[in-house]
């Protein structure tokens, strides 16, 4: 038995995972180079080995759940590239105006057809709200309704949607609550669909960086975009939200968060899925809002993201024949890997989903928390 294999088997001792075992979450190794790739390249090696078919796993999400629960990754010695990545993530601003465009090109602009088949009918690409829902469409509508109620939308108000996606929230708010909406995104593909779905509504979609918005809004919402802002820019983001919000306004921040402010995005996720991403911690958000906003409500429903990711994974697999013409088999394996590890990260409660309601200190009315 080679040295790399011995190390991996020892690392897995406390995880209830057996290499080539007979349970759905047991990985089946097809090529012995699998072990060396993990030892030499860490999470990038594990992900690339799966992408290239060096191992299989029927229940990939459960495999990752067990790995995360056992904290196996923390026991693997970091290679020099990973160490440099971690250090660089702390001191280099990877979310400048120019660098922020990269994630739009790599992830959001890779083809609307993929997202049409994977997501719900409104193409909402963020955590659904499963409190009373029985399917993905219901759960995403419930999330949109929850957001609108938390924002206390009223006819005639002006709403800024930072990171508006394919325009689903803007359309829902404009149609049901009779508000006007300005939605901004860095994705050209999203702008195309968002403009189409909001045709003949009081909705304006702009291809625009959040740092370039300087006008007043009664309400501001940001759903699934703060993960791309970066810790070196949190304060500036909050300052701009404060600047653009009326004195009596409400700001709702919907973001994935993590337990540890020192953590960095998984290197494989950073390389193949979300370049330059960074999940905020409670402390980092609290520090940024201090002196600018009053915290009215902090709602965590991160376990719902597990189910959401698994629904997306099911749709992706079931509709692969419709998606396949535009992508390779390697892409298929990469996307299955991404959605599986994402679901597991919420199941293991390493990641959370927070909806945070903020107001200015001179707002006089009491805020009533909505669930």
**Domain range 96-359, its CATH number among 3.40.50.150, 3.40.50.11720, 3.30.2010.10, 3.40.50.920:** 3.40.50.150
Kindly state the average pLDDT of the residues 100-107. 84
pLDDT confidence bin for 98, thresholds 50/70/90: confident
Kindly state the average pLDDT of the residues 141-170. 98
User: Is residue 4 pLDDT above 70, yes or no?
Assistant: yes
Tokens representing 249 are 């306004």
Smallest CA-to-CA distance from 55 within 80, 31, 76, 23 is with 31
pLDDT confidence bin for 91, thresholds 50/70/90: low
* Cα separation, 252 vs 300, whole angstroms: 13
Kindly state the average pLDDT of the residues 189-213. 97
Per-residue model confidence (pLDDT) at position 88: 53
Q: What is the mean pLDDT of the chain?
A: 93
Tell me what percent of the residues of the chain surpass a pLDDT of 90.
82
User: Is residue 76 pLDDT above 70, yes or no?
Assistant: no
User: Is residue 106 pLDDT above 60, yes or no?
Assistant: yes
Each residue's pLDDT tens digit, 314-348: 999 999 999 999 999 999 999 999 999 999 999 99
The CA-based diameter of the chain, rounded to the nearest angstrom, is 70
* Cα separation, 114 vs 50, whole angstroms: 21
pLDDT confidence bin for 99, thresholds 50/70/90: confident
Smallest CA-to-CA distance from 152 within 242, 79, 218 is with 218
> Do residues 26 and 60 make contact, with C-beta atoms less than 8 angstroms apart?
no
Each residue's pLDDT tens digit, 44-66: 999 999 999 999 999 999 999 99
Placement of tokens 């999330």 in the chain: 143
Which range among 102-111, 260-269, 276-285, 333-342 shows the weakest confidence by mean pLDDT? 260-269
User: Is residue 275 pLDDT above 60, yes or no?
Assistant: yes
User: Is residue 112 pLDDT above 60, yes or no?
Assistant: yes
Kindly state the average pLDDT of the residues 281-301. 97
Domain ranges of the chain: 3-77, 96-359
* Cα separation, 246 vs 237, whole angstroms: 16
Tokens representing 314 are 């099911």
pLDDT confidence bin for 186, thresholds 50/70/90: very high
Each residue's pLDDT tens digit, 162-181: 999 999 999 999 999 999 99
pLDDT confidence bin for 7, thresholds 50/70/90: confident
Q: How many CB atoms lie under 10 A from the CB of residue 90?
A: 11
Per-residue model confidence (pLDDT) at position 19: 95
Which range among 95-99, 185-189, 239-243 shows the weakest confidence by mean pLDDT? 95-99
Kindly state the average pLDDT of the residues 261-286. 90
Which stretches does DSSP call E strand in the chain?
28-29, 55-56, 158-162, 180-185, 203-207, 217-223, 245-258, 294-300, 351-359
* Cα separation, 343 vs 275, whole angstroms: 19
**Whole-angstrom distance between the N-terminal and C-terminal Cα of the chain?**
55
pTM above 0.75, yes or no: yes
Better pLDDT: 74 or 124: 124
pLDDT confidence bin for 74, thresholds 50/70/90: low
> Do residues 42 and 73 make contact, with C-beta atoms less than 8 angstroms apart?
yes
Q: At what angle do helices 329-347 and 60-69 cross, to 10 degrees?
A: 40
Which range among 19-23, 43-47, 98-102 shows the weakest confidence by mean pLDDT? 98-102
* Cα separation, 129 vs 355, whole angstroms: 11
CA angle 227, 151, 160 (to 5 degrees): 60
Placement of tokens 């990711």 in the chain: 309
* Cα separation, 309 vs 333, whole angstroms: 15
Kindly state the average pLDDT of the residues 24-37. 95
User: Is residue 90 pLDDT above 90, yes or no?
Assistant: no
**For the stretch 208-245, what's the b/e string if a residue is b when 16 or more beta carbons lie within 10 angstroms of its beta carbon?**
bbbeebeeebbbbbbbbbbbbbbbbbbbebbebbbebb
User: Is residue 85 pLDDT above 80, yes or no?
Assistant: no
Per-residue model confidence (pLDDT) at position 84: 44
Which range among 25-29, 75-79, 367-371 shows the weakest confidence by mean pLDDT? 75-79
């Amino acid at each position: 038995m080679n040295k790399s294999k011995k190390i991996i088997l020892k690392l897995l001792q406390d995880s209830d995972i057996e290499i080539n075992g007979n349970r759905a979450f047991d990985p089946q190794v097809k090529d012995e180079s699998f072990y060396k790739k993990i030892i030499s390249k860490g999470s990038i090696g594990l992900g690339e080995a799966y992408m290239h078919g060096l191992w299989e796993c029927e229940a990939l999400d459960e495999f990752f759940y067990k790995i995360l629960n056992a904290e196996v990754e923390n026991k693997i010695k970091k290679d020099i590239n990973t160490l440099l990545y971690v250090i660089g993530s702390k001191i280099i601003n990877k979310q400048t105006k120019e660098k922020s465009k990269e994630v739009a090109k790599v992830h959001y602009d890779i083809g609307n057809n993929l997202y049409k088949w994977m997501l719900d009918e409104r193409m909402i690409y963020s955590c659904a709200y499963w409190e009373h829902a029985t399917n993905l469409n219901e759960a995403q509508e419930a999330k949109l309704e929850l957001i609108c109620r938390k924002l206390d939308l009223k006819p005639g108000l002006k709403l800024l949607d930072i990171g508006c996606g394919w325009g689903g929230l803007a359309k829902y708010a404009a149609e049901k609550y009779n508000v006007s909406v300005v939605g901004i995104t860095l994705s050209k593909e999203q702008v195309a669909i968002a403009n189409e779905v909001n045709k003949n509504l009081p909705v304006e979609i702009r291809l625009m960086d959040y740092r370039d918005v300087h006008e007043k809004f009664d309400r501001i919402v940001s759903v699934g975009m703060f993960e791309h802002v970066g810790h070196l820019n949190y304060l500036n983001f909050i300052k701009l939200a404060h600047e653009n919000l009326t004195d009596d306004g409400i700001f709702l921040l919907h973001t994935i968060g993590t337990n540890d402010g020192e953590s960095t995005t998984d290197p494989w996720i950073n390389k193949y899925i979300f370049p330059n991403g960074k999940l905020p911690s409670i402390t980092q958000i609290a520090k940024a809002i201090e002196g600018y906003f009053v915290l009215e409500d902090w709602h965590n429903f991160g376990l719902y993201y597990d189910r959401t990711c698994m629904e997306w994974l099911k749709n992706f697999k079931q509709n692969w024949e419709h998606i396949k013409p535009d992508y390779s088999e390697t892409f298929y394996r990469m996307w299955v890997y991404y959605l599986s590890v994402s679901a597991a990260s919420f199941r293991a409660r390493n990641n959370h989903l927070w909806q945070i309601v903020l107001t200015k200190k001179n707002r006089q009315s009491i805020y009533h928390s909505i669930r």
